Structure formats: structure tokens, C-alpha cells
Chains A and B, each alone.
Chain A
């Protein structure tokens, strides 16, 4: 049975008044501007607020008034340029004093989770990632508690994709509850819900604040349940117009109906509301900074569970790899696409060489005196060189480019498609390195399978000369270089579309810039070639046939200088190293404005 956190018939007040000394969250003159747009008006203009423990606070106001920005400033997603934020007496801007992963739960406006996982799997993964220092039994127990608390037990095996709006919001809340945070920030988790679902969510928030002693701030447009909040904060154009109990709301705005509050707000400028609110603060004489001695001791902070350490990293890595595999196997479209690529791309290559590679007839080495015979022989050789050389060089470049396309398909979606999930997981304490390592493990599998099959298939059908292992390594490195480069692009992109487009451009430029078809001017070529993975792949593959006549004809035909085998492998390896470093930085860097 799903527990009903129905709203009590009469609102029950929080036992801690707003000005209680045990207050937990204090904002003092907090200013937040639009990131990278200092000339535009600030999102929050000197906001001063405080919220005690065991408190359910509503934050209301018209669209664009700064409600979500307020939550983002508290969570740290938006950095405040002026003022101070205190949590349990700690100034959050000071080094080592920020909100710990287990202290904060942030439920954004839109539900963010993997749609192909079940409710139980999502909660279980969240527990494994956020409580990696706890025992398996403790984590399982917590998962059960959270499923029960959020009323998700009956739908635990249902995939997220098929959940209703209310169920999705409860799941989003449940993910945050796994780590039992003391501060829960909910951004419009009831918007767009039917009245029953809205009742359920507000009931759940009410229960969580009361029974579990949390401080919960809920940004909402709905004034239906305003009486059930301990405090209501009204924002208007970046300033606080009011903070107080719901009973004072109508009187303060001199309206008879709650729905008229927004109209009343518009009757005066934000500065007027701001001044009025500040006047009220001064009259109440509320302290705006925590008193000395009330801050949490650094030793207490140090004793909090930490997600760092090699073992925790290894556990996190294992969980993320397992999840990636599960997702891959559930995304039928993805593995069908991978299968089709494996089937068709090598097939495309052999289409041009399924009859095998022709034998080369060398020119006579003996000294000839018959000029006509010499000219005829040279003509025949040139024709043969042109045909066979083009075929060999083209087949190799075709292999390389198709593997590069596979690489783009592998890497371009990898980070961008789940960016917001990753941002939330980072906020919940998951480290970047195991995340990137898990992605690389999965990508490495794809690269090895694709490159192995391409090498084997083409070599078997076209009877390419040269050592199999070296050709496989070369092709795997080209594929790996493009895959990791596209993964890095993905890690820095704001959307999947942007990452895909950039990746296609990257592959598209490989062929013309490789010099395999048309040679670049020599100085330009020397400048550009180090950056073009296809060149190193093409050159490296040709080197594997160096002892054969096929190499000779292919080389004679091209004006682009070839590089040695080891140099090619080294440069491709360096491409991968640079791309992985970029991917690490891209994943480490916060990107909450992503569109995934």
C-alpha cells in the first residue's frame, strides 16, 4: 500500500519560529547576476532571508521574479557576487564550508533521470552512488525506506518512461531523499500536476519537513496549499517582497484573496517592496549574520562521510559501468544502429575490393635501349599505378573514414545526452574521474569490436596484405581517437544536437585535410596534419604494407609525405590522451544550462 501523506485538516505550524537561534539557512544581502552577462539586471538584488530547521517554506512570485535563481544560489549552481550565505553558521563561500553532498537535495523543475531504467533501479543506483561508503545492507534498507516514503513501492518495477507526471515528481524527490539531506530545495515540483497529485506531493513535503526535521524550500506557482507551509516568501523582480507566515500574507498585501497577491505586487515597483520588506526586518530586529560560536566545527565536517578515496572511486566506477551497459541493452535503437553499422560499413568498403587486390607488374629493371618500349612500359605502369594505387589508398582511407564515422556515433551522445543527470550526480558527490572512466570503458568496448570486425572483414574479403595485429591496432587507434574526441566535444556541448553536429564536422574535415586525396601545401600540411587523425590512420595503415608493391604504387601516387608506423601510432595515442583530458575537464565543469 502506498502511504498517504495527506495534508492535515488543519495546518500545523513549525515548532521553530523563523527567528529561532537554531536557524539553519541564512541569506544576507545576496546578489546574483546573470552568468557572463554583467550588464544585464541582476537575478537577485540583495536578498536577505532565513529558514530554520524542520521548516517547509514556499517561495512564490510571478514568472522571472528570481524564485528558481534563489534556489540555485542556495545550492551553489548560481554563484553569488555579493552578500553571504550561511548554513549552520558556515559561510558557504569559504573554502571547505560549502554544502556537503549528503546535506543538500535539489529537485529541479523538470524530472531528470534515465527513462529506460525502472524506478527501483534508479533509486538503487542513486543509493549506490550517493551512499558508497555504506554497507550493501544499509543501502538496500535505505532504498526500501525511500520507496515506501515516496509511495513508489507499487510501481518500483515500472520504467521511468511510462510514469505519470505526479509519479515522476515523486521519483525525483525520492532520488534526493536517498542521502537523507537536511536541506531540500524543490523547484516547481507540483507545476502542471492534477490537483490530486499536487496534494500528494505537498503532503509528502509536509511530512518530510515535520517528521524528518528538514528544511524544505519549495518554489511554486500554486497558492492552493499556501496555508500548509510554515513560511511564505514572495519574490518580485529579484527582491523579497515578503517573508512571513501564511496568515500574514493577505494582510500584508492588503488583499482579500490569495490569487490577488500577484496583482497587488504589480501595483508597486520592486524597490518599494524591497524597502518595505527591509523595514520589516529592521523592526523585527532579526540577526542577519550567525553569531560567533554557532558554526559547525571543522572536525564535525571532517567526520562526515566522504565519497573520495580509491575504493569509493572503484565502487562508483563499477556502478556507472553496470548502469551504462544496462542502458545500452535497453536502448534498442542504439544497439540496432550499432549492429547495422557493423554490418554495413565493412560491407561498403569491400564493395570496392571484393575481387581482391590485383597483382602489380613492375617495370623492367634491366637497362633498355628501345625508347618506344620504355615509353610504352612507363605508360602501362603509370596506368596500373593510377588504378591500383588509387584502389589501395582509397580502400584504406574508406576504412579509416567509416571507422571515424562510427567513432562520432560512439562518442557524440555519450555525455551530452545525460548532462543534467550528471550535474545532479556531481552535486550529490559523484566524482568526475570514475564517471569518465566508466564512459571510456564502454566506448573502448565499442571501439575494439568495431575496429576488430572492420579489420577482419576487409582483410578476409579483399586479402589486404600486411600484419593483422598492426592493422587492427592502427584502425582501433583511429576509431579511438575520433571516439574520444567526440566524447570530449560531447562533454563540452550544451545539447546532443550541438555535440552531434560538431562531431560530424570533425569527421567531415578528416578526409580533405588528411592529404590522401589532395595534398595540402607543404607548410600548411605540416601545421594541420598533427591534428588530423585520419592522416595518421591512413599513413599508419599504408606502412603496414610497406614491404609490398601495393605500398609502392600507393605512395608513388600521393604527394603527401607518409610518416613511420611508430609515429602514426604515437600521434593517434596522443590524440586520445588530449581528448580524454578535455573530456575530464568538460565533465568536471558545471553546465546546468544544458538542454539534455
Chain B
């Protein structure tokens, strides 16, 4: 091919297209799947928790739920919320979580879904250590 009549080789185009799509897809997968900071946490087994929370004391779990209503409030402890979660069978269950005062700046809204890092306290209450809007 003459210099004045240059054309990109179709093979280059195909290879670069595949490479770009691959890189874009890989990045998308990484950012979609690895950006969840709680991905390494084990999801809370609601059945075990409701059956005997003592066995789970001190453990830290991941919990996805929707705010249902506030149950109680303390200026020192924070707020106790009822949240709606889905059990392993896909049925709705309700559980109480304590959101401490330190996390008070997060806007908590009825019907809003959150991803939470919770710790099973010694008294069996689920204390939210971190939470993010889903």
C-alpha cells in the first residue's frame, strides 16, 4: 500500500476493539463487584440469629435492609430501627438494629435501603458499625 493511501489494517482494528472491550469489561466487573466494602463479610444468617443470638456474640456480619420505622431513641446510644430484610427463602423478615450516635449524620429515611456492617452485641442487639445507601 502506498504511503499517501494509508488505511489502518483491519486486523489492528479487530485486535484493538477486542482489547478495549476486554479492558472495559474487566474494569466494569472489578468496579461493580469489588467496590462493595462489605464484600468480604459474611451475610447475617437471620434464622441462626433469631434462634440463638448468644452464639453469634461479637461476630461481624453484612446486612442489607430497608428502614421500616424507628423503635426507640437514646441520646447516648443512638436510635433503634426496625428494618426489613429478606431471608434465604426470599421472605420478608423484620429485625431491630441500633444505629449509634456516631452515624447520625447519615440521612435515614423510611423506605430507604442500606448496606450495613453489623456487630452482634453481647446483649444480642445488632449494632451498626458502618452503613451505606444501597
Contacts and interface: CB of A to CB of B under 8 A. Distances in A.
Contacts of B110: 362-365
Contacts of A578: 20, 24
B108 interface: yes
B85 interface: no
B7 interface: yes
A77 B69 contact: no
Contacts of B23: 574, 577
Interface size class of A (residues with CB under 8 A): 35 or more
Given A365-B81, A574-B20, A76 B5 contact: yes
Given A365-B81, A567-B31, A585 B112 contact: no
B7 A590 contact: yes
A187 B65 CA distance: 76
A365 B133 contact: no
A589 B110 CA distance: 58
B29 to A, nearest CB: 10
A547 B105 contact: yes
Interface string A563-576: 11011001100100
Nearest to A556: B111
Residue of B13, B27, B132 with most chain A CB atoms under a 10 A cut-off: B27
Contacts of B52: none
B5 A78 contact: yes
Contact of A79 (B5, B108, B133): B5
B48 interface: no
A549 interface: yes
A574 B24 contact: yes
A427 interface: yes
A365 B32 contact: no
A272 interface: no
A92 interface: yes
Contacts of A427: 3-4
B115 to A, nearest CB: 12
A566 B37 CA distance: 13
A366 interface: yes
B27 A570 contact: yes
B63 interface: no
A487 interface: no
B8 A589 contact: yes
A365 B67 contact: yes
Contacts of B133: 546-547, 551-552
A571 B70 contact: no
A158 interface: no
Contacts of A75: 4
A362 B20 contact: no
B106 interface: yes
Interface size class of B (residues with CB under 8 A): 35 or more
B106 to A, nearest CB: 6
Contacts of B20: 574, 577-578, 581
A588 B4 contact: no
Contacts of A93: 2
B4 to A, nearest CB: 4
Interface string B94-131: 00000000000111111110000000000000000000
B2 A567 contact: no
Interface string A252-276: 0000000000000000000000000
Interface string A545-558: 01111011000100
Interface in A357-389: 362-367
Contacts of B32: 563-564, 567
Nearest to B13: A585
Given A564-B31, A564-B32, A549 B69 contact: no
Contacts of A567: 28, 31-32, 35
Interface string A345-366: 0000000000000000011111
B4 A549 contact: no
A121 interface: no
Given A363-B109, A552-B112, A566-B35, A571 B8 contact: no
A564 B35 contact: yes
A571 B26 CA distance: 11
B107 A362 contact: yes
Given A570-B31, A574-B23, A590 B4 contact: yes
B8 to A, nearest CB: 5
B7 A574 contact: no
Contacts of B105: 547
Contacts of A114: none
Interface in B53-109: 67, 69-71, 79, 81, 105-109
Contacts of A77: 2, 4-5
Interface of B: 1-8, 12-13, 16, 20, 23-24, 27-28, 31-32, 35, 67, 69-71, 79, 81, 105-112, 132-133
Given A427-B4, A564-B35, 7 more contacts: A363-B111, A365-B108, A367-B70, A552-B109, A556-B111, A564-B32, A592-B4
15 contacts: A75-B4, A79-B5, A93-B2, A101-B3, A365-B69, A365-B79, A366-B70, A426-B4, A564-B32, A566-B35, A570-B31, A577-B20, A585-B12, A590-B6, A590-B7
